[in-house]
């Protein structure tokens, strides 16, 4: 049931925990393939999975390090918030708070090509990196037997953007994913050609009239018929299909209260220090608090720690956060993009 795309072939008894480096397993969407994909996902690997819309590049949404792997594999220069896929409405309700509109839409269209952006629940397990630091969460219950079986087997929400490298077309067949992502992800679970072939519709239910954030597999008319009212349009005045959300909410949560100073060679009195790697900047005795994104200089670990570390330092009440230089290659590009916006967003 399982063949490799690149040499050397896997050993007969593969270690499910070891990240597969440079080798992508092709798994068929049968019980054995689903079990293997679930083991890889639970071990923190990235696996492409079929949904009714497009193939997604999935990782355990509760594990920030696994989520960082998605950005790494896609070569995304930014941490966009990702959709958390759930097996059913009950598991989605653990992650998000559903108002009457959201509940009605979920009941009408799930499983199916509708994503609901709702406030984060107190019981949520989805990592901050998967939400890009937002206090809301995008949730979807896909309508595909292989995706459903996988979600049940993993028993955790799966973060999954479309399984294409950043800037390329979304894949609707396993072979498209293989062409683009071979060697960059642990496995591809083949569930045949996707039925819908375009992404889910995204509707935000964050109080007031639900807002259409992205057109997709469910039509506006169908949604409005269920709600009995007209959807508000995305006000973020961008033609990016995924422009996230209403002004204010995003910015305020993205920006720490403290002044953020990048590329700090020395820590000034009263500053908190956000470090990267094993060589500390000068003036460490001045630091009122210290966090290291990754002492080993591991960008994947740094990405996983980024939001939590910024929040922890901001919560110390320090007037400023001095950020040591972070390399700009690989995931470093998205990390420095986020830091730069934190430095600029203020005030």
Which residues of this chain interact with ligand TXA, rule CB under 6 A?
51, 53-54, 56, 80-83, 115, 117, 134, 136-138, 140, 142, 160-162, 199-200, 202, 213, 242, 244-245
Q: Is 210:231 a contact under the CB 8 Å cutoff?
A: yes
- Quote the CA–CA distance of 270 and 319 in Å, as a whole number: 7
Give the nearer residue to ligand TXA in terms of CB position, either 129 or 264: 129
| Interface with Mg ion, residue 162, by CB under 5 A | yes
Angle in degrees, CA 125, 323, 269, rounded to 5: 120
**Closest CB 142 distance from ligand TXA, rounded Å:** 6
Give the nearer residue to Mg ion in terms of CB position, either 162 or 200: 162
Q: Which stretch binds Mg ion (CB under 5 A): 57-65, 162-170, 253-261, 272-280?
A: 162-170
Q: Which residue is nearest to Mg ion (CB)?
A: 162
Bridge partners for 272 per DSSP: 321
Give the nearer residue to ligand TXA in terms of CB position, either 93 or 267: 93
For residue 156, give both structure tokens.
Answer: 């955790």
Q: Which stretch binds Mg ion (CB under 5 A): 4-12, 158-166, 203-211, 271-279?
A: 158-166
- Quote the CA–CA distance of 176 and 184 in Å, as a whole number: 14
Give the nearer residue to ligand TXA in terms of CB position, either 82 or 260: 82
Radius of gyration of the chain, Cα coordinates, nearest whole angstrom: 21
Asked if residue 111 has a cis previous peptide bond (ω within 30° of 0), the answer is yes
| Interface with Mg ion, residue 51, by CB under 5 A | no
Give the nearer residue to ligand TXA in terms of CB position, either 128 or 333: 128
Q: DSSP strand E in 18-87: where? A: 25-28, 47-49, 56-60, 83-85
Binding partner at 212 among Mg ion, ligand TXA, none, C-beta below 5 to 8 Å by kind: none
**Closest CB 106 distance from ligand TXA, rounded Å:** 15
- Quote the CA–CA distance of 166 and 288 in Å, as a whole number: 38
Q: Is 227:108 a contact under the CB 8 Å cutoff?
A: no
**Closest CB 252 distance from ligand TXA, rounded Å:** 14
Neighbours of 96 (CB within 10 A): 24
* Binding residues with Mg ion: total (CB under 5 A): 1
Give the distance from CA 90 to its chain's centroid.
Answer: 21
Give the nearer residue to Mg ion in terms of CB position, either 214 or 338: 214
Neighbours of 264 (CB within 10 A): 21
**Closest CB 163 distance from Mg ion, rounded Å:** 9
What residues line the site for Mg ion (CB under 5 A)?
162
């Amino acid at each position: 049931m399982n063949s490799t795309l690149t040499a050397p072939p896997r050993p007969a008894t593969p270690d499910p925990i070891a990240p597969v480096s440079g080798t992508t397993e092709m798994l068929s969407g049968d019980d054995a393939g689903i079990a293997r994909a679930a083991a890889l996902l639970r071990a923190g690997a990235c696996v492409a999975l079929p949904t009714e819309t497009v193939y997604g590049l999935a990782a355990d949404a509760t594990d920030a390090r696994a989520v960082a792997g998605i950005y790494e594999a896609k070569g995304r220069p930014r941490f966009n918030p990702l959709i958390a896929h759930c097996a059913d409405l009950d598991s989605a309700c653990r992650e998000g708070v559903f108002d009457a509109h959201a509940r009605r839409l979920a009941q009408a269209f799930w499983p199916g090509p509708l994503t609901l952006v709702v406030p984060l629940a107190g019981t949520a397990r989805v990592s901050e990196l998967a939400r890009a630091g937002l206090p809301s969460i995008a949730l979807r219950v896909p309508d595909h037997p292989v995706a459903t079986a996988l979600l049940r087997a993993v028993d955790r929400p799966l973060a999954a953007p479309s399984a294409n490298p950043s800037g390329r077309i979304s894949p609707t067949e396993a072979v498209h994913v293989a062409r683009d992502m071979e060697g960059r992800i642990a496995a591809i679970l083949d569930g045949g050609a996707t039925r819908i072939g375009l992404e889910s519709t995204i509707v935000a239910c964050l109080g007031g009239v639900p807002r259409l954030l992205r057109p997709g597999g469910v039509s506006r008319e169908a949604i409005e018929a269920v709600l009995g009212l007209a959807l508000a349009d995305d006000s973020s005045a961008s033609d990016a299909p995924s422009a996230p959300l209403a002004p204010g909410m995003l910015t305020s949560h993205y920006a720490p209260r403290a002044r953020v100073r990048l590329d700090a060679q020395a820590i000034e009195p009263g500053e908190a220090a956000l470090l990267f790697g094993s060589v500390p900047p000068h003036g460490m005795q001045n630091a009122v608090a210290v966090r290291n994104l990754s002492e080993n200089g591991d960008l994947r670990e740094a990405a996983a720690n980024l939001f939590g570390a910024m929040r922890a330092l901001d919560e110390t009440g320090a007037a400023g956060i001095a950020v040591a230089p972070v390399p700009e290659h690989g995931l470093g590009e998205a990390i420095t993009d986020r830091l730069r916006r934190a430095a600029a967003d203020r005030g």
